[in-house]
Structure 1
Amino acid sequence: VQEAIVTSEELGQDLEHVELLQKKFEEFQTDLAAHEERVNTLGGDAERLQQTHPQNASQIHLKKDELITNWEQIQTLAAERHARLNDSYHLQRFTADFRDLTSWVTEMKALINADELANDVAGAEALLDRHQEHKGEIDAHEDSFRATDEAGQALLSAGHYASEEVKEKLGILAQEKESLLELWEVRRQQYEQCMDLQLFYRDTEQVDNWMSKQEAFLLNEDLGDSLDSVEALLKKHEDFEKSLSAQEEKITALDEFATKLIQNSHYAKEDVATRRDALLNRRNALHERAQARRAALEDSFHLQQFFRDSDELKSWINEKMKTATDESYKDPSNLQGKVQKHQAFEAELSANQSRIDALQKSGQELLDRKHYASAEVTARMEDVSAQWKKLLEATELKGSRNQSQH
């Protein structure tokens, strides 16, 4: 039985099996150690018997040698069995660690691959945080990888009977670890791109919403009906233009950010380019409409200035017409004074000719620019011109009558 234990070729199929065999062998070694004293005692007895029974000394000597030979043989076999079980234990320990690590790598890859790209900034942040936690777990297994690799290298250095198997497993383990790190890095880049994309989408949406409000502001077609109202509208428009300028920096930054994503071959570069172009086109259209609105308001301002000047001039002409058409020339008293007064009146009219000319000039400038109210401008110019002509004719008539009375 003892010989069957020490000569057994059974080395265990896994770590648990080897540990069970080692436990049984330790029990055998304990039992063997207990027999050592008995073997020594028998050896001593044999020597005494040889002395006391010289006639049987030869036979006793043979039995003693046989006992010692068998004892030494079983001890040698036990040492060899102990060494083989140790080798098997180290192999199965290495194999178990190898299986644990490769199984963990498979699970970790599945965990990393299970995450889907986020649809908003908060989701992208959570994704990156979770991915960084995975890296922490990978780093935490570094000692296990190193210890398993060192254990395998030690088996190779010792010339272990399963060196080829160990060498193959070491190669697989290194590949698995490398592929896990590569997968983690690939996904990290994807998640970084996802974060960039969600930031771009968020900021683009904010600018789009802002532009919708600005476009709504430009829907106002009111150009004012007086100088005061036009000036108020111009002031509002200046404030609007300031807000456009303030937002321009953000739009430029978005444009540069989008260009960087496209140049870096972002996975959504086509969509980024489409959104960027749409944003810039909308911005350009907004600026064009803002410029058109300013031009219209400035046209309205010049028109209201023209209306004011023409109204003031017409009012002044009407006042002077009263003087030109009064019939004081019929009163024969103080004729000399009347002549002098009329000369002063004519001088006043002559001095105001420049106002008439200025009005005609400003009106013509509006017409040359193809002003939207050209018809009304023309009518007013003609009206003032006609009134002025009547005033001059009435003044001339009154002057000739004064002369005839004089």
Structure 2
Amino acid sequence: GEAGELQRFLGSLDHFQSWLSRTQMTVASEDIPNSLAEAEKLLNQHQQLRDEIDTYAPEYAKIKEFGDKVTEGEDDPQYMFLRQRLQALDDGWHELLQMWENRQQLLSQSLSLQMFLRDAKQAEVLLSQQDNFLSKEDVPIAPVDKQTSVQAAENLIKRHEAFITTMDANDEKINAVLQFSNRLIDENHYDREKIHKKAESISERRDQNRQRSDEQLERHKDQHILQQFLQECDELRDWLQDKMAAAQDETYRDAKNLHSKYVRHKAFESEIAANKDRLDRVVEEGEAIMQAKPETRDQIEPMLADLSNQWEDLETTTKEKGERLFDANRSVLYQQSCDDVDSWVTNLESQIVTSDDFGKDLTTVNLHVQKQNQMENQMKMKEQQVQELESQSQHLRSMEPDKEEEIESRRALVAERFAKIQGPLMMRRANLDKVKRIHQFMRDIEDEKLWIEEMMPRATNQEYGNSLLSVQLLIKKNHSLQVEIDNHEPRIMSVVQVGQDLIDSGHSHSEEFQSLINDYCNAGKH
């Protein structure tokens, strides 16, 4: 009995000891995984080993319990040896558990390392793609023409801004890698030095790419500004060349229609003067670019000098042409200028004096107002012409003293006629305004009557609702109507006031206006 039981126990002990030794050897393996798959595989195998250890735990407890009972109080050398074996078994068991934990930690850290290396590699791929894009972008694009250059510069900016958007999105992935590395280092990872170096490299590359990207975007913007400036220079140069060709046109030598040519030339001079700010703006922009980017000076400075010279040539040519045009035919031009103003005044007199028609309704009055505006605009132009006659006559009198009286009397007559026509023109404007006010009042009164007619059905609605909901709806509608009427009241008062002003001014149709106001007010009261 007891001997057999002891024999079986010793057999179990031998078997367990053998398993324990084998398992300790397995756990003691120092294999370090070199890939994520390998790390997962080893960790999985290690977990299976734990399951096996846990399976042996009851047997270990059973052996320990039986052994302690068998050896208790025994001094026999055999039992003392057995006690030592049991102690060694106990030490071995706890050592196995500790070894497993140590290996578990190592494999867990190995898995983390492989995951980090995988993520780091993906981050490095992103950084390499960025680096590749930035390196390619350094290559300048040869423009086909200035327009293409501006478009190309704009496209580069758009493309680069899209790249920055992608960079920003990639930053999230890169930041995740860096945060992962910080966590592993904080956890005292066994390979923290390698992790730190890798993370530092990624961070530095990211920062370098960001800096390069910012610098390149700045260069693209500078290039865009430069290309726009060059395009403006080209456009101004083309304009100057066109105007120079016009300024050098010799057809003015023919005295026929000299006045109209002179007027056109004056308009041409005005156009040149009006465009002077284009040159000033281009020069200012060029100076600003050279100030900000000194390396552009060699390119821009000669262009600005050339444009300024062309502008001076154009101004000189235009001025000389005007002088030649005037000097060569001064007397003819003076006569034609006087005739032009004279005939214009005669034509205007016929329109003003012979016409008492100011329109029979608002539409025709407005047409007359448009015509009046045209006449007044022409008046301003002719006024300048009359002023020019003064300087022309002075110069002509000095050249032809024997005709001084004739020249001056002609100018004075033209000036007098021009001055006289202004009064009737202003009177016509006043009459038109008065007539327009009357017709506008009549129209407004009719419009207001129509508005009242539209409002009346809503205001006199006898429906009071047959349920709480319908009553609430009617109250809401009534409130909206009241608000609409209140908002419209200033308009009503304004129209009535216009009518009252017409009556107060003693207008011949005052009774009719009063009647319209009364009808309107009565319609509103109903």
Instruction: State TM-score, norm by structure 2.
Output: 0.58
Contact 1:127–1:191 at 8 Å: present in 2 too?
yes
Contact 2:126–2:170 at 8 Å: present in 1 too?
no
Letter in 1 for 2:220: L
Contact 1:223–1:230 at 8 Å: present in 2 too?
no
Cα deviation, 1:136-177, whole Å, max 9, x if unaligned, reads: 110111121121122123325686966644544443222211
Deviates most, 310-319 or 376-385:
376-385
Contact 2:116–2:181 at 8 Å: present in 1 too?
yes
Report what 1:152 is aligned to: 67
Equivalent position SS for 1:304: helix
Report what 2:133 is aligned to: 217
Equivalent position SS for 1:118: coil
Task: Report whether the alignment pairs 1:177 with 2:100.
Answer: no
Letter in 2 for 1:277: E
Aligned-partner Cα distance in 2 for 1:254–1:316: 59
Report what 2:108 is aligned to: 192
User: Deviation of residue 273 (structure 1)?
Assistant: 1.0
Report what 1:331 is aligned to: 254
Deviates most, 343-352 or 229-238:
229-238
Report what 1:138 is aligned to: 53
Letter in 1 for 2:22: E
Aligned-partner Cα distance in 2 for 1:159–1:219: 85
Task: Report whether the alignment pairs 1:99 with 2:14.
Answer: yes
Aligned-partner Cα distance in 2 for 1:279–1:300: 31
Contact 2:252–2:261 at 8 Å: present in 1 too?
yes
Among 374, 378, 384, the alignment partner of 2:297 is 374
Aligned-partner Cα distance in 1 for 2:69–2:91: 19
Letter in 1 for 2:180: F
Report what 2:321 is aligned to: 398
Contact 1:105–1:177 at 8 Å: present in 2 too?
yes
Report what 1:204 is aligned to: 120
Letter in 2 for 1:345: F
Structure 1, unaligned stretches of length 5 or more? 1-85
Task: Report whether the alignment pairs 1:296 with 2:219.
Answer: yes
Question: CA-atom RMSD, angstroms?
Answer: 2.1
Report what 2:415 is aligned to: none
Equivalent position SS for 1:267: coil
Aligned-partner Cα distance in 2 for 1:97–1:390: 118
Among 44, 53, 57, the alignment partner of 1:129 is 44
Equivalent position SS for 1:141: helix
Aligned-partner Cα distance in 2 for 1:383–1:115: 81
Equivalent position SS for 1:196: helix
Structure 2, unaligned stretches of length 5 or more? 144-148, 331-526
Letter in 2 for 1:134: L
Contact 1:118–1:127 at 8 Å: present in 2 too?
yes
Letter in 2 for 1:137: E
Among 251, 256, 264, the alignment partner of 1:341 is 264
Equivalent position SS for 2:211: helix
User: Deviation of residue 91 (structure 1)?
Assistant: 3.7
Letter in 2 for 1:192: S
Contact 2:123–2:177 at 8 Å: present in 1 too?
no
Cα deviation, 1:90-136, whole Å, max 9, x if unaligned, reads: 44433332332222111111112225111111111101011111101
- Structure 1 segment 4-403 matched on structure 2, within 5 A: 86-156=1-71, 164-220=80-136, 221-224=138-141, 225=143, 226-370=149-293, 372-403=295-326
Equivalent position SS for 1:114: coil
User: Deviation of residue 231 (structure 1)?
Assistant: 2.1
% identical equivalent positions:
31
User: Deviation of residue 371 (structure 1)?
Assistant: 5.7
Aligned-partner Cα distance in 2 for 1:159–1:119: 53
Deviates most, 307-316 or 326-335:
326-335
Cα deviation, 1:352-399, whole Å, max 9, x if unaligned, reads: 112112211221221111165432222222221111111111112122
Deviates most, 256-265 or 186-195:
256-265
How many residues align? The count is 321
Aligned-partner Cα distance in 1 for 2:2–2:74: 10
Instruction: State TM-score, norm by structure 1.
Output: 0.74
Contact 1:309–1:359 at 8 Å: present in 2 too?
yes
Aligned-partner Cα distance in 2 for 1:368–1:90: 104
Greater RCO (Cα-Cα under 8 Å, separation 6 or more): 1
Aligned-partner Cα distance in 1 for 2:20–2:289: 81
Contact 1:200–1:254 at 8 Å: present in 2 too?
yes
Aligned-partner Cα distance in 1 for 2:187–2:91: 29
Equivalent position SS for 2:28: helix
